[in-house]
Structure 1
Amino acid sequence: MSFKNLPLLGTAEIIGALNLSPKQTAAAANLAHRVTQSAWRRRPPHKSGQTYEEFAAAVSACAWLTMFEVGALLILGRHHDARILTEASRSVHQAAHTGRRR
């Protein structure tokens, strides 16, 4: 388990808000890294030269925090809240990319 790419202040706020135990915190961090590793394995051809560390460093702080919080919610059994957060994150991400293309 690594907190290397997780923004510490935001991670601490989520840990406190959800009252996570050390075991739950580690599991949520692991989930965020597994999601990022999965994205790295499926990265587009123009990013094929990136190592995992380079790819992970390029992931936004907001995305890391969202993945961590979704993982924490899942671990807590709050699947509905995790789904809502995931859907909201996708909507914001898509809207941001659509706005840049105009």
Structure 2
Amino acid sequence: MSFKHLPLLGTAEIIGALNLNPQQTSAAAAFAHQLARTAWRRRAPHRSGQGYDEFAAGVPDCAWLTLFEFGALKALGRHHEALLLAAASRSAHRRGRTADG
């Protein structure tokens, strides 16, 4: 799987921290890109002219790393931890939007 949009330093840190093998690393990267593509397909109508690469380039590094770590935890069979990470990420995102608004 491509690491084109994944921030390499942060990705490497997650790989090392979770001790991922090449297959798990590939699965995590594929999962991150799959979720990003799903978000791209579901984007707002006013952004419908935007291609995937343009959309992916606009995804913040922290979001890419969260997607990658979620996929890595799932590849390791640590589904509960992956769900906790997703819940914490959603909560932080909602708080961030509320504070900005």
User: Please, what TM-score do these two structures have when normalized by structure 2?
Assistant: 0.99
Aligned-partner SS, 1:20: coil
How many Å apart are 1:43 and its aligned residue?
0.4
Q: Structure 1, residues 35-85: CA drift from partner, whole Å, max 9, x if none? A: 000000000011101000000000000000000000000010001100000
Name the structure 2 match of 1:12: 12
Equivalent pairs: percent with the same residue? 65
Name the structure 1 match of 2:97: 97
What is the distance in 2 between the residues matched to 1:58 and 1:46?
15
Name the structure 1 match of 2:85: 85
Name the structure 1 match of 2:56: 56
What is the distance in 1 between the residues matched to 2:4 and 2:93?
23
What is the distance in 2 between the residues matched to 1:44 and 1:69?
26
Name the structure 2 match of 1:66: 66
Letter in 1 for 2:2: S
Once superposed, what is the RMSD of the aligned Cα atoms?
Answer: 0.5
In structure 2, the gaps of 5 or more residues are: none
User: Please, what TM-score do these two structures have when normalized by structure 1?
Assistant: 0.98
Greater than 3 Å deviation, 4+ residue runs: none
What is the distance in 1 between the residues matched to 2:27 and 2:20?
10
